[in-house]
Amino acid sequence: MRAAILLALAGSALVIAAAVLLASSRPLDLSARARAIESTLRCPTCQATSVADSPAQAARQIRQVVEQQVRDGRTDEQIRGFFADRYGTWILLDPPTTGPDIVVWILPAVVVVGGVIVLVRHARHARQANHDSGTADLATRQGGPRLAESAVFGAMVLALLAPIPAALGLRPAGAPASGGAPSTTPTIAQLEAWVAADPSDARILTQLGDALLGAGDLPEAASRYRAALTVDPAADAPKLGLAAILIESGRPDVAVTLLDGILGTNGASADALFMRMVANQQLFGRADARVRADAARFLEVAAGDDVRRTTVESLLAASDANQSSAASASPGSPAP
């Protein structure tokens, strides 16, 4: 009797364990499926980042829809098709192998095959030249350069091929979005985590804004810069970020107002001078006195190895050339 009770209890325990395992494995499977689908969708407001990897709000909202559709029992292809119907096939990180998108898959193979054909033809021509000349010496002088030229061509073809997947935002399944090499620059996800741990750190908020700006997510970047300014209203860095966004968004006039504020307290800010120069150039053209004044001041205060110096020097030179040609074309004022 006692054995029967124990056996019954053991049976119940097994049933309960099985039920618990089933219950816990189902959401995990669904979550893994959703994550797999999200990793094949491009974040619509970022550059070459998957929905799975992006912290952008748009990506978060897409993840919610994917998870809901997975729970609703839709297939992977139905879910991917749902987004392709709305955004177009560019939303898919691995475009379909039919229709116009097939060029993405065929182009690399075509270029490789073309490169090999050209390589072989060059080699044949080289051999023919050797044969016609009848001397090994001539073969070295004619065939050698031709073969070298072919090898260089082949290398160029391969070098050109390498960036194609990255340029199209493609990556092999399972590869990290940011590439294999470790980076010392914190990722957006890391910065998000640090901000979550300490939302009052204006420096990290600004750094996150910079990273989002670099990823092309202007709304999210602006949101982080504003948060940084809420914490530290006197900080210049988030204002510079907002100014960059305003210029990028076609509001250089508002950017100039913001930059005037920075330069009012720190007239030697090379970043603010450079940005105000760009904004005023958009508004008034490169020959404008305000643009030239900021350019000249920038060259005074910027570090000697600042890469922007060349741009500014070119702008001033072009502006000088414009003024000279305008002066020579002008009939001039009549003498008093």
User: 279 and 294 in contact (C-beta within 8 Å)?
Assistant: no
Closest approach, Cβ 167 to other proteins, in A, equals: 18
Closest approach, Cβ 41 to other proteins, in A, equals: 11
Q: Which is nearer to other proteins, 82 or 194 (CB)?
A: 82
SS3 category, 304: coil
Q: Which is nearer to other proteins, 79 or 315 (CB)?
A: 79
Cβ atoms within 10 Å, residue 37: 24
First-residue to last-residue Cα distance in the chain: 129
d(CA 73, CA 78): 10
Q: Which is nearer to other proteins, 66 or 270 (CB)?
A: 66
Closest approach, Cβ 301 to other proteins, in A, equals: 33
Cβ atoms within 10 Å, residue 66: 25
Q: Alpha-carbon Rg of the chain, whole angstroms?
A: 31
Q: Which is nearer to other proteins, 51 or 273 (CB)?
A: 51
Q: Which is nearer to other proteins, 84 or 240 (CB)?
A: 84
Task: Return the structure tokens found at 189.
Answer: 């996800």
Which residues contact other proteins (rule: CB under 8 A)? 44-45, 57-58, 61-62, 64-65, 83, 86-88, 91, 218-219, 223, 249-250
Closest approach, Cβ 280 to other proteins, in A, equals: 19
Closest approach, Cβ 273 to other proteins, in A, equals: 26
Torsion sign, CA atoms 157, 160, 166, 167? negative
Q: Which is nearer to other proteins, 87 or 153 (CB)?
A: 87
Instruction: Give Cα 274 to chain centroid, integer Å.
Output: 23
Alpha helices in 51-197 (DSSP H): 57-71, 76-87, 102-133, 136-138, 144-161, 163-167, 188-197
Closest approach, Cβ 58 to other proteins, in A, equals: 7
Cβ atoms within 10 Å, residue 243: 28
d(CA 229, CA 190): 21
Q: Which is nearer to other proteins, 53 or 236 (CB)?
A: 53
Closest approach, Cβ 104 to other proteins, in A, equals: 19
In the block, residue with structure tokens 């600042």:
306
